[in-house]
Amino acid sequence: MQNIDSITHVRGESIYLDDIPLQQETLFGAAFGSPIAHGKIIHLDISAAEKMAGVVRIFTYKDIPGDNQIGGIVPDEPLLAEDEVHFNGMPVAFVVAETNEIAQAAVKSITIDIEPLPVITDPREAKEKGKLIIPPRTFSLGNIDKAWKKCTHIFEGIAETNGQEHLYIETQGAYTIPQENDCIKVYSSTQGPTAVQRHMAAVLKIPMHRLEVDVTRLGGGFGGKEDQATAWAILCALATYHLKKPVKYCLHRMEDMRMTGKRNPYSSDFKIGLDKNLKIIAYEATFYQNAGAAADLSPAVLERTLFHCTNSYFVPNVKATAYCCKTNLPPNTAFRGFGGPQGMFVIEAAIAKAAEALGIDASEIQKKNLLKDGDEFPYGQKAESEAKNCWEEAEDIYEIKKLRKQVKKFNEENHLHKKGISFMPICFGISFTKTFMNQARALVHIYTDGSISVSTGAVEMGQGVNTKMAQVAATIFSLPLSKIKIHTTNTFRIANTSPSAASATADLNGKAVQMACINLMERLKPVAEKVLKQPCDKMRIEEGLVHIGNKKTELTWGNLIATAYMSRVNLSEHAHYAPPQVHFDPTIEKGHPFAYHVYGTAITVVTVDCLRGIYTFDAVKVVHDFGTTMNPVVDLGQIEGGIVQGMGWMTMEEIIYDKEGRLRSNALSTYKVPDIYSVPEEIKVHFLKTKKDNLAIFRSKAVGEPPLMYGIGAFFAVRNAIKAFHPSADVKFSAPITPEKVLMSLYPKKERSQTIKEAYHIL
């Protein structure tokens, strides 16, 4: 089944925020951000901007009627700076003008006098100076101190991953429209309509029931709009509140890149201990998370780093500690994987380091230590593991022995091009790690003509969740999709929604849709019984007719609904779903936080041009645990997109802040994301079918985030290719492994001139 949005997407008819027809008298906003990363505001001068023709008003924190505060987890983030700025780009004032161009021009004529304070961009330095956003957290299992004594081999090192720009195609934005009686209608490109509504209510000091947040769809989110869509919507609403006029602000790409946070960079220390059979006996990791200037979602991201610190391996003795470090960068935030990939990279680096020292392939260690059923995670939950199944299936169907031979032969025959292979197993926990967030609601109406409308808390952001919601309703009613319409995500129809995040949206909202539809079907059965004068517990609908079991009747769906309506049967249902199985106690860091885990294995093959340092990926071949997929097309799209996005993070996407905390990679000319030329020549995805009864909707496992982590394999494949060229090359565990870094490690400084001479000689 195709995505229900395909046709309007292709025709350019799909509505995004910037496509909403403007109301008369709409004004346009633009934010003035701090020009420096840290300092005390001495004087803000808006007088020149205010005098510009077409400028309506400029707002500062003094215009805020309620709390100047938008921090979700920790109240440490003012909407508009008061007397200090904490990152370059931090909003200080909000210009509202008659046109977008005037608003942008007015921002440029605002000046500010700031007394600079020291700028910290490095998380380890922040930790040294005691700048932590929350106290450190530690997950542990077994007894690490005793375990070291049992190890035959112990290796230590450092692993670092950089941030990642979300680069949703649609930038952040909002459009707010005044309604009567101090109500505001809010269009926002947000993954979390309730987050927008809740913070807006507090900032404007008006009750939530006056704020209608409505979301048709987003042009991508990737976590960047879980928390960080809120500020722009509230800035517009603040102006609408004062001016009683519609106000719109869609960020320009460079504003968006400069002012919003990204994936959290991490710097980490690891220590790994193995016995003589290559079993990992002990693993210790210390994570320094670069949170940026405010908590945002970083404390929750940090938690997921700890949850995934052992990836898909069983390690009996673990100690993992994480520091949430405050720096003068824009607050970093959710990004597909939510700290999990950062944690997983570190143990993969530890394994690679051990393998290198022992002169073996990392896959020997990886395979020996895969999770088995019943193995305990450091947080107490027991694994129901598909790790070995995925790995062995991948070895088998992708003919790993043959592949290794081909690579070996290629490397023997070629001197300036080398191939590298890596295995990347993944294990990702499905559920919000904050247990209370695991809840969702759905509202289903059957209209008197038999057509059905469905509303949920799920936000469509290109991931295909609306298609899945429509499938759920169509399946329960056994009606064609044409009878089902999925409506916008709206806080007046569905209240108190969790953001669409954590890969859990289809599960949570889908189960709520399922419950609502089942309840409606149950209510219709007695109606059918009255008409048909026979028991109808086996009722289903086929080709518009009521069937009882396999027997067709004369009763049409339309007549059934009309009869139900005339008999005054309620044709609407609101359902609430919350998986009861999940729980977690942060005081002991133990529990059962995840409904289930998703597993998989990726084999990546790369060819490195050892003269230039550039590389191309031959193939990424995956065996992925989908459960029983309810939509192979949508799910395959998620896997392919996730792989490429993860590879981009690991290889070419390089965020650079200078020492002053200024973003230098601030446009698409300086920040490179994968394009059609840099994707692998071949991506193969094998659907491992698993039938385990789990909490996935229709047993179709969550698929949003897990595949991103296959991209980590790209780093290690490139690293292995470098090693094939120069076995003693010192390749740092520092992602992204850009072509520049590859070139430098191919030719270590001391031997550089000699190796280059040799290379030219071969040429």
263 touches 335 (CB < 8 A): yes
* Binding span for ligand LUZ by CB under 6 A among 88-96, 203-211, 297-305, 512-520: 297-305
Classify 601 as helix, strand or coil.
strand
Q: What span, in angstroms and rounded, lies between the C-alpha atoms of 618 and 419?
A: 9
Minimum gap (Å) between residue 234 Cβ and ligand LUZ: 19
Q: Is 731 in the site for ligand LUZ (CB under 6 A)?
A: no
742 touches 718 (CB < 8 A): yes
Q: What span, in angstroms and rounded, lies between the C-alpha atoms of 749 and 747?
A: 6
Q: Is 426 in the site for ligand LUZ (CB under 6 A)?
A: no
Find, among 621, 623, 617, the residue nearest to 721 by Cα: 617
Helices (H), 359-430: 362-368, 387-397, 400-413
Q: What b/e readout covers 1-35, taking b as 16+ CB neighbours within 10 angstroms?
A: eebbbeeeeeeeebebbeeeeeeeebbbbbbbbbb
Q: How many residues does the chain have?
A: 763
* Binding span for ligand LUZ by CB under 6 A among 43-51, 410-418, 431-439, 524-532: 431-439
Q: Is 508 in the site for ligand MOS (CB under 6 A)?
A: no
- Shortest-Cβ-distance residue relative to ligand MOS: 223
The yes-or-no answer on residue 542 being catalytic is no
Q: Is 308 in the site for ligand LUZ (CB under 6 A)?
A: no
Minimum gap (Å) between residue 338 Cβ and ligand LUZ: 3
Q: What span, in angstroms and rounded, lies between the C-alpha atoms of 34 and 90?
A: 5
Q: Is 300 in the site for ligand LUZ (CB under 6 A)?
A: yes
Return the number of the residue (432 or 747) whose C-beta is nearest ligand LUZ: 432
Of ligand LUZ, ligand MOS, none, which one sits near residue 477, judging by CB under 5 to 8 A according to partner kind? none
Q: Is 263 in the site for ligand MOS (CB under 6 A)?
A: no
Return the number of the residue (300 or 620) whose C-beta is nearest ligand LUZ: 300
Q: What span, in angstroms and rounded, lies between the C-alpha atoms of 161 and 141?
A: 25
Q: Which is catalytic among the residues 395, 589, 654, 705?
A: 705
Tokens of 67: 């709390």
For residue 452, give Cα distances in angstroms to 116, 694, 698: 59, 28, 20
Of ligand LUZ, ligand MOS, none, which one sits near residue 191, judging by CB under 5 to 8 A according to partner kind? ligand MOS
Minimum gap (Å) between residue 385 Cβ and ligand MOS: 23
| DSSP label at residue 370 | B
* Binding span for ligand LUZ by CB under 6 A among 123-131, 151-159, 432-440, 530-538: 432-440
Sign of CA dihedral 100, 330, 426, 671: positive
Of ligand LUZ, ligand MOS, none, which one sits near residue 304, judging by CB under 5 to 8 A according to partner kind? ligand LUZ
Q: Is 502 in the site for ligand LUZ (CB under 6 A)?
A: yes
Tokens of 59: 């707002």
Residue type, 520: L
Q: Is 440 in the site for ligand MOS (CB under 6 A)?
A: no
Q: Is 335 in the site for ligand MOS (CB under 6 A)?
A: yes
Convert residues 485-504 into a mask of x (bound to ligand MOS by CB under 6 A) and - (unbound): ----------------xx--
Q: Pick the binder of ligand MOS from 217, 336, 419, 701 (CB under 6 A).
A: 336
Return the number of the residue (334 or 515) whose C-beta is nearest ligand LUZ: 334
Find, among 651, 652, 654, 644, the residue nearest to 710 by Cα: 644
* Binding span for ligand MOS by CB under 6 A among 145-153, 236-244, 334-342, 483-491: 334-342
Q: Is 432 in the site for ligand LUZ (CB under 6 A)?
A: yes
Q: Is 334 in the site for ligand LUZ (CB under 6 A)?
A: yes
Determine phi and psi for 112, rounding to 5 degrees: -145, 140
| DSSP label at residue 18 | G
Q: Pick the binder of ligand LUZ from 184, 234, 501, 737 (CB under 6 A).
A: 501
Q: What span, in angstroms and rounded, lies between the C-alpha atoms of 3 and 12?
A: 15
Classify 501 as helix, strand or coil.
coil
* Residues in 671-730 that interact with ligand LUZ by CB under 6 A: 705
Q: Pick the binder of ligand LUZ from 268, 433, 514, 645 (CB under 6 A).
A: 433
Q: Is 338 in the site for ligand LUZ (CB under 6 A)?
A: yes
Angle in degrees, 0-180, between the axes of helices 505-532 and 557-566, rounded to the nearest 10:
80
Q: What span, in angstroms and rounded, lies between the C-alpha atoms of 712 and 737?
A: 11
The site for ligand LUZ (CB under 6 A) is made up of 223, 226, 297, 300, 304, 334, 338, 432-434, 501-502, 705
The site for ligand MOS (CB under 6 A) is made up of 191, 223, 226, 334-336, 338, 501-502, 705
